[in-house]
Amino acid sequence: MQAKDLISIDALCTSYQVEISFFDQLHEVGLIEVTTIEKEAYLHQDHITDIEKIMRIHNDLQLDIEAIDVVFNLLNKVAILENELNATRNRLRIYEDF
């Protein structure tokens, strides 16, 4: 992992207008993975879409961290099931074309 791929948690707090404790709580429940370099907390840029989903859940629904965890995990499971359904449909089309 390269440092250029990391975004400071402090910068995210400023950008999303939340306290650093919010990100600490997300890390504690396992929703985000925090990398610490020289006492500075960072988040990998690949996880920004997850953070944006979490922030929308938090802001739109006014949920606490535990509820965000439940909703976020359910959304991920729905996405996995949708992918499996699409793959099954694509395989079924092969047999329907014969």
Interval 11-65: pLDDT, tens: 999 999 999 999 999 999 999 999 999 889 999 999 999 999 999 999 999 999 9
User: According to the model, what pLDDT value does residue 5 have?
Assistant: 87
- For 59, the token pair is 């802001």
User: According to the model, what pLDDT value does residue 1 have?
Assistant: 54
Instruction: Using pLDDT thresholds of 50, 70 and 90, give the confidence band for residue 4.
Output: confident
Question: Which domains are delineated in the chain?
Answer: 3-96 (1.10.1660.10)
User: According to the model, what pLDDT value does residue 79 have?
Assistant: 97
- For 64, the token pair is 């606490």
Residue 6 pairs in a beta bridge with 44
